[in-house]
């Protein structure tokens, strides 16, 4: 796989392709970042962007993970002290998940977002951005009413962080795209109080997984079923067993006309195949014996043809997810034992 393919595999969108191709020519020493609001336990949504970061490290990039403590505070996730504590737990879980500790830098938002220059730049963006635009940028992240003043300051700060952290590529789930577009349009025109170079940076967006039980809408950690690093092997088995998995990549809409996806196939594609060269689906001899796949497409083809039964696909998915999650689960157990 060439560098550009590795960088963009499974990405839903790159902005712009031309800019990312230029980065792919010489990734060595370039910095990519992703930011997360600290939460105590990683869920499969975090792991999906982390999988992309692992691709990017393999391509030669340095990774910066922003532990967005001030953002979590603005989004009403707790007291500042609580948020700082959960950020520590999160850092350890990311490393356990497989990020290269020598190529990963963790930065707290509060380490630069309270500086005078930064605050003045934020105010400059507040002057140049309409309320409507900021609310729209926040709507998909927050999923609620974005009714507080903090909800419109949040996306402006995120847009600014991309230049403050001096990043070459911003990575995020597709729910971050409006903030990234705001960055690209509003930040380059700023005069700036700081000596930063206010150039728009390219962005890469990862898919959002579908709801595990129904395939309708997004998988969510706040409502519905999600997979997290706190899950035991049995929890994962149960959740994946109950997942929506018709024998097709393109399920029919449900009775109310809602679009549906196949979340089991999505997890194979976005979480499992990027981390394992081959996937083995174990089956008793009497049912045809083990099946071995080198890529996602052949597994999906077999599910569609009936060669691979959904129940067997689910069993294998649960085993591979468990293998990915186990090291982080141990880290959590150690932290809780302290």
Q: Which residues are annotated as a binding site for L-tyrosine?
A: 33, 154, 158, 161, 176
Q: Which helix (H) or strand (E) holds 33?
A: strand 31-36
Q: Closer CB to ligand NAL, residue 70 or residue 308?
A: 70
Pick out the residues of the known binding site.
Answer: 33, 154, 158, 161, 176, 221
Q: What is the CA radius of gyration of the chain?
A: 21
110 binds ligand NAL (CB under 6 A): no
Q: Would you call 214 exposed, middle or buried from its count of C-beta atoms within 10 A (0-12, 13-18, 19+)? A: middle
Q: Closer CB to ligand NAL, residue 51 or residue 176?
A: 176
Q: What is the rounded CA–CA span in Å between residue 229 and residue 218?
A: 19
Minimum Å distance from CB 8 to ligand NAL? Answer: 19
- The answer to whether 331 touches 92, Cβ cutoff 8 Å, is yes
Minimum Å distance from CB 81 to ligand NAL? Answer: 19
Any bridge partners for residue 64, and if so which? 33, 105
Q: Which residues contact 1 (CB under 8 A, 6 or more apart)?
A: 9
Q: What is the rounded CA–CA span in Å between residue 161 and residue 115?
A: 12
Q: What is the rounded CA–CA span in Å between residue 2 and residue 275?
A: 17
Q: Closer CB to ligand NAL, residue 74 or residue 216?
A: 74
Mark the segment that binds ligand NAL (CB under 6 A) among 31-39, 100-108, 190-198, 323-331: 31-39
Closest-by-Cβ residue to ligand NAL is 35
Q: Closer CB to ligand NAL, residue 71 or residue 260?
A: 71
Pick out the residues of the known binding site for ATP.
Answer: 221
Q: Which of 49, 93, 146, 158 binds ligand NAL (CB under 6 A)?
A: 158
Looking at residue 218, the DSSP 8-state letter turns out to be B
161 binds ligand NAL (CB under 6 A): yes
Site residues for ligand NAL, window 76-105 (CB under 6 A)?
Answer: none
- The answer to whether 328 touches 319, Cβ cutoff 8 Å, is no
Q: Closer CB to ligand NAL, residue 38 or residue 251?
A: 38
Q: Which of 7, 15, 69, 71 binds ligand NAL (CB under 6 A)?
A: 71
Q: What ranges in the chain are assigned the alpha helix state H?
A: 3-8, 17-25, 44-58, 69-74, 80-97, 116-128, 131-142, 149-164, 177-186, 233-241, 263-267, 296-305, 310-337
Q: What is the rounded CA–CA span in Å between residue 229 and residue 227?
A: 7
Mark the segment that binds ligand NAL (CB under 6 A) among 50-58, 63-71, 119-127, 271-279: 63-71
Site residues for ligand NAL, window 120-149 (CB under 6 A)?
Answer: 141
The token pair at 299 is 């597994």
The interface mask with ligand NAL, positions 261-300, x = CB under 6 A, is ----------------------------------------
Closest CA to 297 of 53, 10, 4: 10
Q: Closer CB to ligand NAL, residue 23 or residue 162?
A: 162
Site residues for ligand NAL, window 32-51 (CB under 6 A)?
Answer: 35-37
Q: Closer CB to ligand NAL, residue 68 or residue 291?
A: 68
**Distance in Å from the first CA to the final CA of the chain:** 43
Q: Which of 7, 14, 66, 281 binds ligand NAL (CB under 6 A)?
A: 66
- The binding site for ligand NAL (CB under 6 A) comprises 35-37, 66, 68, 71, 141, 158, 161, 176
């Amino acid at each position: 796989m060439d560098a550009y393919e590795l960088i963009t595999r499974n990405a839903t969108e790159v902005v712009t392709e031309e800019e990312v191709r230029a980065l792919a020519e010489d990734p060595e020493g370039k910095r990519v970042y992703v930011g997360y609001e600290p939460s105590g336990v990683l869920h499969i949504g975090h792991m999906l962007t982390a999988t992309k970061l692992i691709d990017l490290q393999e391509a030669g990039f340095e990774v910066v993970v922003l532990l967005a403590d001030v953002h979590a505070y603005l989004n009403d996730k707790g007291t500042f002290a609580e948020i700082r504590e959960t950020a520590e737990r999160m850092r350890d879980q990311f490393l356990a998940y497989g990020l290269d500790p020598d190529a990963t830098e963790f930065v707290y938002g509060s380490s630069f977002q309270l500086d005078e220059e930064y605050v003045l730049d934020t105010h400059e963006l507040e002057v140049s951005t309409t309320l409507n635009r900021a609310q729209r940028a926040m709507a998909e992240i927050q999923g609620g009413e974005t009714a507080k003043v903090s909800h419109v300051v949040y996306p402006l700060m995120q847009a600014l962080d991309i230049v403050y952290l001096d990043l070459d590529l911003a990575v995020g789930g597709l729910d971050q795209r409006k903030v990234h577009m705001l960055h690209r349009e509003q930040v380059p025109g700023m005069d700036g109080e700081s000596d930063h170079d206010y150039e728009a940076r390219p962005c890469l967006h990862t898919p959002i997984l579908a709801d595990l039980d129904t395939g309708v809408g997004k998988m969510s950690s706040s409502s519905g079923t999600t997979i997290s690093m706190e899950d035991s092997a049995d929890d994962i088995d149960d959740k994946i067993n109950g997942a929506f998995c018709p024998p097709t990549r393109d399920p029919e809409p449900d009775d109310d006309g809602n679009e549906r996806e196949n979340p089991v196939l999505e997890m194979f594609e976005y979480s499992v195949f990027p981390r394992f060269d081959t996937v083995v689906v174990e089956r008793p001899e009497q049912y045809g014996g083990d099946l071995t796949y080198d890529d996602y497409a052949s597994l999906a083809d077999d599910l569609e043809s009936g060669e691979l039964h959904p129940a067997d696909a689910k069993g294998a998915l649960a085993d591979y997810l468990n293998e990915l999650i186990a090291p982080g689960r141990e880290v959590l157990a150690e932290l809780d034992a302290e």
